[in-house]
Chain A
């Protein structure tokens, strides 16, 4: 069975602090795809990043960075110098190689306090 666990239900940090959102996944597929989505207070779901299982390179995009480690089945997301606009619910998701089903974690609600 495929599963995504986001153990942090809710996190609050003060603006300009760094924050890391954890994501642990389970799959028996050797090829799979990992995603992060952001859901701001307005409610839409916005794609942030995609990672293939055969590409363990970490990625940085501005203040956002992602750490993919197959050895620990983790795909963590770090926001550096957080801003109030980063306040949102963040979802980690997994797609295996046997079907197109997107499995989402429960999400982490991030509050950035001014």
Chain B
């Protein structure tokens, strides 16, 4: 397996534009996580899915953020409209279950200007 695959690796967009981040988890993993990493706040859990169902989205900062997992092999995180304070590295991770380690993608570095 190629691991968790995220795209794009880098995204630069203008304030107000819609941004969509994509993630392909490791095949067979039941849980998928979206994290945001900034210097100030560290690694924040935004949302996680179990068996494609959103379980906890309490970390999603506001209504501008939304996430979907239409099937076991694909998830998206959308920001609409984007703002400069959304600039961060966004990581997707997947795991088999809570007792096993999560595997992280390479991250998407988002810059909103």
Contact = CB atoms under 8 A, between A and B. Distances in A.
Q: Interface majority SS on B: helix, strand, loop or mixed?
A: strand
Contacts of A105: 42
Contact of B98 (A44, A91, A100): A100
Contacts of A104: 35, 42-43, 45
A28 interface: no
Contacts of B101: 35, 47, 50
Interface residues of A, number: 22
B50 A45 contact: no
Interface string A19-53: 00000000000000101010000011101001010
Contact of A91 (B43, B48, B89, B106): B43
Contacts of B35: 104
Given A50-B101, A91-B43, A100 B50 contact: yes
B104 A100 contact: no
Contacts of A102: 33, 45, 93, 95, 102
